[in-house]
Structure 1
Amino acid sequence: MSSRKNAMLTTEDRKWLTGEKTYEGQHAKQQRYQRRRDIRERIYNSILDFSIVFEELDIEEHREIFGDVSDDGRQWMNDDAALRDGVRDGLAFLFYTVGVAALMRDDSGPTATVPEWMIKSGLQRAGQKDGFLVEDAQLDVEATDVAVPELLDALESGEDISPAGLYQLMESGALDADGVQECLREQFHAQRNDEEGV
């Protein structure tokens, strides 16, 4: 992952953010500050570049990057899971940054929130490009406030957690779903062996 070509993040940025590289010694604090500042500037400039690529990049170039989507718009026609995850996390990064959690916690009435503005204006711009007038778009989010720190404390202290609580921890990313599945498999096989007297 950290060895890809430089983009919004350089190879060194990726190594530092993922913990593969650390700064130590006399100038470590200044190096960390500089790295953070450089990353912020590149993210800002990369986002500004979307205005250019949206207006100027041919549709054939879009397809070269993303592949095709089915005619009904329901599935990707390529199997690039890393790209799909990047698109998902890019949107999540933007929504998280502009405070989408406030929208999830409280229906603030007729005044549009920043995430709603992002979605509506983004859909309007995309529609314009294909000759559609997007007259209205509504964002309806149903969310449950997951008390992740409390659930993690309970898990660490040995308390019983409901299946719903475990599911919430896995969905929040606080627990590694693959690791949980492996533990469950081991328990299942041990239980089956006990039942069969092996």
Structure 2
Amino acid sequence: MTGRKNAMLTTEDRRWLTGEKSYEGEHAKQQRYQRRRDIRERVYNSLLDFTILFEYLEADEREKLFGTAGTKQTTLTDDRKLSNGVRDAFAFLLYSTGIDARLGTDANRPSPVADQLLTEAFHRVGRRESVLVQNVDIDIDVVELPRESLLEDLAAGNELSSHELKILLESEDVDTREVQEHIRRQVLDE
């Protein structure tokens, strides 16, 4: 993960962010400050580059990267690293622009910037494709994650519902590959 070519993040940025590298000694505080500043600047400039990519990158170049939408030749479904990267890019951008305000239980919160940006993005894509996007509805259903009580029930040997199991599967504590393998063995071996 950290050994790829330099991009928005350098190899050293990745190593530092993932904890593989640390700064020690007399100048460590300044080095950490500089690393954070450099990362912010590169992320900012990379985001500005998306305007250029959207406007000027040729369709065949996008297809070489992402595949052809709506066909069996879709790189996003074949390349797990790429699809995870796209997913996490959306998550990073949405989270960083305030979508988490919509995830709270307070219905009186103001609509975050993320709603506005998503709506504008759909309109922009529509204009690019010569269609009018008349309306964009962003509807998010949220359920509080009672993770701690679920862990207590699990430790006590209580039976969990499929909904409760899904909550645990969505947590970062569960290795979904292991769960899939267990299910595969249980379902296919029987």
Common fold, TM-score beyond 0.5? yes
Displacement of 1:166 in angstroms is 4.0
Find the aligned partners of 1:20 and 1:76 in 2 and give their Cα distance. Answer: 36
Task: Give structure 1 stretches of 5+ with no counterpart.
Answer: 189-198
Question: C-alpha displacement at 1:179, in angstroms?
Answer: 4.5
What does residue 102 of structure 1 align with? 101
Deviations 1:145-164 (A, max 9, x none): 2134x3487379x4456344
Please say if residues 103 and 113 of structure 1, whose CA atoms lie closer than 8 Å, have aligned partners that are also in contact.
yes
Count, aligned residues: 180
Q: Which residue of 1 aligns with 2:87?
A: 88
Residue identity (%): 45
Alignment RMSD (CA, Å): 2.7
Moved more, 158-167 or 118-127: 158-167
CA distance in 2, matches of 1:181, 1:123: 35
Residues 125-172 of structure 1 show CA distances to partners (whole Å, capped at 9, x for unaligned) of: 111111111111111111212134x3487379x445634444312213
Contact 2:97–2:112 (Cα < 8 Å) also in 1: no
Q: Aligned partners of 1:37 and 1:151: how far apart in 2?
A: 40
Cα gap change, 1:7 to 1:101, in 2 (>3 Å): same
Instruction: State the distance in 1 between where 2:73 and 2:93 align.
Output: 22
Q: Which runs of 5+ in 2 are unaligned?
A: none
1:11-160 to structure 2, matched below 5 A, reads 11-71=11-71, 77-78=74-75, 79-105=78-104, 106-108=106-108, 112-148=111-147, 150-151=148-149, 154=152, 158-160=155-157
Cα distance in structure 2, aligned partners of 1:178 and 1:141: 27
Q: Is the 8 A contact 1:151 1:169 kept in 2?
A: no
Cα gap change, 1:17 to 1:152, in 2 (>3 Å) = farther
Alignment TM-score, normalising by the size of structure 2: 0.81
Larger Rg: 1
- Distance 1:160-1:37 versus aligned 2 partners, 3 A rule: farther
Are the counterparts in 2 of residues 151 and 165 from structure 1 also a CA contact under 8 Å?
Answer: no
Contact 2:23 2:32 in 1 (8 A): yes
TM-score, normalising length: structure 1: 0.78
Contact 1:100 1:115 in 2 (8 A): yes
**Does the 8 Å CA contact 2:2/2:11 hold for their aligned counterparts?**
yes
